[in-house]
Structure 1
């Protein structure tokens, strides 16, 4: 089995078209067909079946695909580590992050790191809580910023960087908008705007309300922060959001009020896979992040 056979196989599987895969890889279509035929002969199975001008993975092809992708990722990671051992200051770091850390925390950390390590490159990927966990485990990402840090994932190591509080976001003309602080149970009869079920911020809001003695009335849902803030601004409902989300983008016609009781908080940290060693440039960044937030906490 040759590496190029796996490369050809994965590209055809993604495109479901041999000629398109050939154009992308800049090789002849006949070369791809020949190498896939050789791969099928070696494995003793049919990986693709024709559907008109397209090709589709067979059931065994679908089973083989993630294994082929894992091999290619491992080879790419090995090449990266060799390059970085030769020169850690010119590495590339693949980082994941949630939308709640996109406007303030992540830019602050990366800009500070780039001042000391200007030649290190970053590949950034925003994603949901569960996507980030799986992407780190599958080595699609080197590190991920996440909140809260998962405690039940054996293949991951997490480092808590800081704690942050949640605040209530109300429409400007809400009858509670002029209060300096609020108890969460004062919102028991209010319609809530939240992330959909399955999002970690949805779970945090539900659990906080239950701790305050009620189940929230969810009137609307949004899949990103701007949508949720926009719905609150339009008077559709109220919401709870982390303090990080208010630093640079306080929406018009809204008011942010701290919560007195119960205190709603989450930890925010960074995770990486324990199944392989961190590449040199990734290790440099990881150590920098820990020191950066340690100094920040002392200053605060």
Structure 2
């Protein structure tokens, strides 16, 4: 029966146009390639190349078999890549969970780099509220978490501060606050604020509560949708609203009491005393630079 090396000779000869070029690519003498393909033809009882011309050309039968040979070689290469990954002790799966407020371009770029460096390690990505992130890691349902900092979790998991997530106070461009400049706390009081309510807990640890009338939503994407509908104003992660601000759909509020951009701290979360494999370790170190 034909072997993988003969199939490789077959495909390389097709791609390079000659037995000699195929031999050079594979590090063999030309006679070895010629004989290997001849043996393959004998095994298959099919003529793959027409040798009556100066350069070998595929026969119709060779054309028909070419995609199947390519598929076999692709599977062989994938198999070898997984073997190499196992020998390097790379994990089969890495699980990461984070607040959806943190689904930033910088994060997706890191995940793309992870794919390039560890093509044989699967990645499971989940978004949940920050209050749930630490629990998922502690219970072993996630390997790495990213969350808005919460000091109450510091004894349950290992925390690593990685930076601050900037928030903008925004409203719809036609909302009454949009036409005001130098807005103070008193100006906000009569206007509805839409704030984050996580896990049925009416506390907002990421942004201040400043209005007398507050509506609640369970994640920032829901809050953004409500603000775009003109239902009120809110603090939202800057990266979620920058395009809408540039397009004139949303207005960034000029708050006199925010001397600097509101930026709550962000923690990287891992299980205590948990050893990390190469893929987890790379991802952990890369995520440290998420806000660089």
| TM-score normalised to structure 1 length | 0.58
- Identify the residue that residue 272 of structure 1 maps to in structure 2: 270
C-alpha change, 1:185 and 1:267, in structure 2 (3 Å) is farther
**Preserved CA contact (<8 Å) 1:101 1:245:** no
| 1:3-37 superposed Cα distances (whole Å, 9 cap, x missing partner) | xxxxxxxxxxxxxxxxxxxxxxxxxxxxxxxxxxx
Q: How far is 1:260 from its partner?
A: 4.4
**Preserved CA contact (<8 Å) 1:163 1:268:** yes
Match for 2:217 among 198, 217, 222? Answer: 222
Looking at structure 2, the residues matched to 128 and 147 of structure 1 have their Cα atoms a distance apart, in angstroms, of: 9
- Identify the residue that residue 208 of structure 2 maps to in structure 1: 208
C-alpha change, 1:154 and 1:236, in structure 2 (3 Å) is same
Aligned to 2:252, the other structure's residue is in SS state strand
C-alpha change, 1:287 and 1:103, in structure 2 (3 Å) is closer
| 1:162-206 superposed Cα distances (whole Å, 9 cap, x missing partner) | 11232111121123314576445531221112233647895136x
Looking at structure 2, the residues matched to 204 and 120 of structure 1 have their Cα atoms a distance apart, in angstroms, of: 35
Looking at structure 2, the residues matched to 258 and 105 of structure 1 have their Cα atoms a distance apart, in angstroms, of: 27
Q: How far is 1:216 from its partner?
A: 3.6
Q: How far is 1:106 from its partner?
A: 2.7
Q: How far is 1:85 from its partner?
A: 6.8
Looking at structure 1, the residues matched to 171 and 253 of structure 2 have their Cα atoms a distance apart, in angstroms, of: 8
In structure 2, the gaps of 5 or more residues are: 1-83
Looking at structure 2, the residues matched to 126 and 96 of structure 1 have their Cα atoms a distance apart, in angstroms, of: 6
Looking at structure 2, the residues matched to 223 and 178 of structure 1 have their Cα atoms a distance apart, in angstroms, of: 28
Paired residues, number: 206
- Identify the residue that residue 155 of structure 2 maps to in structure 1: 154
- Identify the residue that residue 87 of structure 1 maps to in structure 2: 88
Aligned to 2:170, the other structure's residue is in SS state strand
Cα RMSD of the aligned pairs, angstroms, is 3.2
Give matches, 1:216-295, under 5 Å: 216-218=212-214, 220-247=215-242, 253-257=249-253, 259-262=255-258, 263=260, 264-290=262-288, 292-293=289-290
Looking at structure 2, the residues matched to 113 and 159 of structure 1 have their Cα atoms a distance apart, in angstroms, of: 20
| 1:251-287 superposed Cα distances (whole Å, 9 cap, x missing partner) | 9732223644245320123100114222332112112
Q: How far is 1:101 from its partner?
A: 1.3
C-alpha change, 1:201 and 1:111, in structure 2 (3 Å) is farther
Looking at structure 2, the residues matched to 94 and 162 of structure 1 have their Cα atoms a distance apart, in angstroms, of: 22
Looking at structure 1, the residues matched to 241 and 286 of structure 2 have their Cα atoms a distance apart, in angstroms, of: 25
Looking at structure 2, the residues matched to 101 and 199 of structure 1 have their Cα atoms a distance apart, in angstroms, of: 21
- Identify the residue that residue 138 of structure 1 maps to in structure 2: 139
**Preserved CA contact (<8 Å) 2:192 2:211:** no
Looking at structure 2, the residues matched to 201 and 270 of structure 1 have their Cα atoms a distance apart, in angstroms, of: 24
- Identify the residue that residue 62 of structure 1 maps to in structure 2: none
Aligned to 1:237, the other structure's residue is in SS state coil
Aligned to 2:155, the other structure's residue is in SS state coil
- Identify the residue that residue 123 of structure 2 maps to in structure 1: 122
**More strand per residue: 1 or 2?**
1
In structure 1, the gaps of 5 or more residues are: 1-82
